[in-house]
Structure 1
Amino acid sequence: MSAASLRWRLGWLVIATLAVVLVPLGIISFRATVVEVNELSDGRLAQSARTVDLLVREAGIDALRERADRAAFAPPRLTIPAAGHEVETEVGFRVTDASGAVRLESANFADVPRVAVPSEGFGELVLDAMHWRTYTLRDPALGITILAGERYDSRNDITRALWLDHALPLLLGMPLVAMLVGWAVRRGLRPLDRLADTLRRRAPGSREPVDLAQLPPELQPMIAALNDQLARLEDALERERRFSADVAHELRTPITTSLINVETAIGSHDRADTELALSQTQQALTMLARRVEQLLALARIEAGAAAAHARVDLREIAMEVIDELAQPIADWNVELSLSLPPQPLVVEGFAAGLAALLRNLVENALRHVPRGGAVELRLERQADTAVIEVIDNGPGIAPERRDEVFARFHREPGGRGDGYGLGLSIVQRVAQMHRARIELDDAPGGRGLCMRVRIPLARMNRDATQSSA
Structure 2
Amino acid sequence: MKRLSLSGRLRWMIIAVLIAVLLPIGLYSYNRTLKETRELLDGRLAQSARTLDVLVQHAGLDALRMPEQGLLVVPILGREAEEQLMHTRTYETEVGYQVFDMHNRMRLTTTNLAKLPLQPAPVSGFENHFFEGYGWRIFTLVDDVNNVVIRVGERDDSRRDITHALWLDLGLPQLVGLPLLAVLVGWAVKRGLRPLERLRQALASRAPGSRQPIQLDRSPQELQPVVDALNTQLERLEDALERERRFSADVAHELRTPLASTMIHLDGAMAAPLPADAQTALTSAQSGLARLARRIEQLLALARLEAGAAVGQRSEVDLIVVAMNVIDELAPLLGESGVEFAFAEHDDSLVIYGYEAAMAALLRNLIENAMHHVPLGGQVQLSMRRSQGATVIEVIDNGPGIPLERRASVFARFHRESSGGDGYGLGLSIVQRAAQLHNATIELLDAPSGRGLRVRVAIPGASFP
Q: 5+ residue gaps in structure 2? A: 387-391, 460-465
User: What secondary structure, in the 3-state scheme, does the structure 2 residue paired with 1:175 have?
Assistant: helix
Partner of 1:311: 322
Secondary structure of 1:75's counterpart equals coil
Indicate the SS of the match to 2:244. Answer: helix
Identity, in percent, stands at: 45
| Number of the residue aligned with 2:395 | 388
Q: 1:389 to 1:4 in 2, by over 3 A?
A: farther
- Would you say 1:406 and 2:408 are equivalent positions? no
Q: CA deviation at 1:105?
A: 1.8
Q: Secondary structure at the match of 1:311?
A: helix
State whether structure 2 residue 150 is matched by structure 1 residue 146.
yes
Measured after TM superposition, the shift of residue 34 of structure 1 is 0.9
Q: 1:60 to 1:117 in 2, by over 3 A?
A: same
Amino acid at match of 1:14: I
Question: So what's the TM-score if we normalise by structure 2?
Answer: 0.76
AA aligned to 2:327 is R
Q: For 1:19-46, what per-residue CA distance to the aligned partner results, in whole angstroms no more than 9, with x for missing partners?
A: 2222222212211211121111011101
* Match 1:216 to one of 208, 214, 220: 220
Aligned equivalents of 1:455, 1:285: Cα separation in 2: 36
Cα pair 2:440 2:458 within 8 Å, conserved: yes
TM-score when scaled to structure 1? 0.75
Q: CA deviation at 1:454?
A: 3.3
Alignment of 1:30-179 (within 5 A): 30-66=30-66, 72-75=73-76, 84-89=87-92, 90-116=94-120, 119-127=123-131, 130-179=134-183
Structure 2 CA distance for aligned equivalents of residues 344 and 442 of structure 1: 18
Q: Residues 266-317 of structure 1, C-alpha deviation per residue, up to 9 Å, x if partnerless?
A: 2322224424543554565466456546654653454237786572434345
Match for residue 330 of structure 1?
none
* Contact 2:195–2:216 under 8 Å retained in 1: no
CA gap 1:174/1:35 in 2 versus in 1, 3 angstroms: same
Matches within 5 A, 1:48-447: 48-66=48-66, 72-75=73-76, 84-89=87-92, 90-116=94-120, 119-127=123-131, 130-211=134-215, 214-248=218-252, 251=255, 255-256=259-260, 258-278=262-282, 281-282=285-286, 284-285=288-289, 288=292, 292=296, 295-296=299-300, 299-304=303-308, 311-313=322-324, 314-319=326-331, 338-341=339-342, 349-350=356-357, 351=360, 354-356=363-365, 358-359=367-368, 378-381=380-383, 383-384=385-386, 385-389=392-396, 393=400, 396=403, 398=405, 402-408=407-413, 411=415, 424-433=428-437, 437-441=441-445
Q: Distance in 2 between matches of 1:70 and 1:149?
A: 19
After the TM superposition, which of the residue ranges 163-172 and 221-230 deviates more from structure 2? Answer: 221-230
Which amino acid counterpart does residue 168 of structure 1 have in structure 2? L
The secondary structure found in structure 2 opposite 1:4 is coil
Evaluate the alpha carbon distance shift between residue 444 and residue 357 of structure 1 in structure 2; reply closer, same or farther with a 3 A threshold.
Answer: closer
Structure 1's 41 and 306: CA in aligned 2 closer, same or farther, altered over 3 A?
closer
Q: For the residues of structure 2 that align with 1:36 and 1:28, how far apart are their CA atoms? A: 12
Aligned to 2:462: none
1:396-419 superposed Cα distances (whole Å, 9 cap, x missing partner): 351xx643443457x579857999
**For the residues of structure 1 that align with 2:50 and 2:257, how far apart are their CA atoms?**
121
Secondary structure in 2 aligned to 1:454?
Answer: strand
Name the CA shift for 1:234/1:445 in 2 (closer, same or farther; >3 Å). Answer: same
1:27 corresponds in structure 2 to 27
SS at match of 1:406: coil
SS at the partner of 2:116? Answer: coil
Relative to structure 2, which stretch is displaced further, 426-435 or 12-21? 426-435
Identify the residue that residue 14 of structure 1 maps to in structure 2. 14
Measured on the aligned residues, the alpha-carbon RMSD in Å equals 4.3
Does the CA-based 8 Å contact 1:315-1:344 persist in structure 2? Answer: no
